[in-house]
Amino acid sequence: MTRYLAALKKAYPPAHAALAPNGAVLPNEAPDMDCAVALYAAHDGQGPDGQFPPNVWDGFRWLNVRGIASTREMLDGMVKKGEWDDKTTKLVDHWAPGWIPILSNGCGDHVVIDSAGTFTGKRGQIIQFRHDDGFRPVIAPSFDAWFAVWVESLEAGMWTIDAGMASLWNTEASTALFAQRMPGYPLGHKVKRIPR
């Protein structure tokens, strides 16, 4: 993993501390975020806002620190305004303040670090947010666990590359490795509606 971070540091500029609260490159709001913090200290996502470089995980790309902050601010604001609620019910956990978006597919879906412990009570778990779907798979117990398996699967050549987009896509081998290294994941959860 150290070798992978060193390669990233060469390829991408480091994140600027001023872009994140309290001078942190990435707010360390949950346990087992050491790799996430190191990753953003090594490089700032996959490029400036508005660029769409190759995807690194099933159609998702790394957000830069500015993208993390703006996406989080926008979605937290939508929750406060009741964007997904209707006149009689409130949608719970469609988006939860405390989620830190780190990957985006550019279409409104994100992979997030959950600093709130939504659904399971486990802070730091990795959740996939689907903007137009109520299913919220918890894909890993922590960023460090997810990242370690992702790097292992990359080094073992377990991904396929879409030549047209130069994007990495999961194969049966990488899916099996994730299941082996993180037994019981992904966990299926759904958002729910409660009366107002």
> Does 32 reside within a domain?
no
Tens digits of per-residue pLDDT, 42-87? 777 776 554 556 788 888 888 888 888 889 999 999 999 988 888 8
**What is the pLDDT, as a whole number, of residue 99?**
92
What is the value of pTM for the model shown?
A: 0.83
> Does 110 reside within a domain?
yes
Three-state SS across the chain? CHHHHHHHHHHCCCCCHHHCHHHCCCCCCCCCCHHHHHHHHHCCCCCCCCCCCCCCECCEEECCHHHHHHHHHHHHHHHHCCCCCCCCEEEECCCCCCEEEEEECCCCCEEEEECCCCCCCCCCEEEEECCCCCECCEEECCHHHHHHHHHHHHHCCCEEEECCCCEEEECHHHHHHHHHHCCCCCECCECEEEEC
Tens digits of per-residue pLDDT, 7-43? 555 555 555 544 454 445 566 677 778 778 777 777 7
> Does 93 reside within a domain?
yes
Tens digits of per-residue pLDDT, 119-146? 999 999 999 999 888 899 999 999 989 9
Q: Domain span at residue 96?
A: 53-195
> Does 159 reside within a domain?
yes
> Does 108 reside within a domain?
yes
pLDDT over 80 at 155, yes or no: yes
Provide the domain count of the chain: 1
**What is the pLDDT, as a whole number, of residue 138?**
96
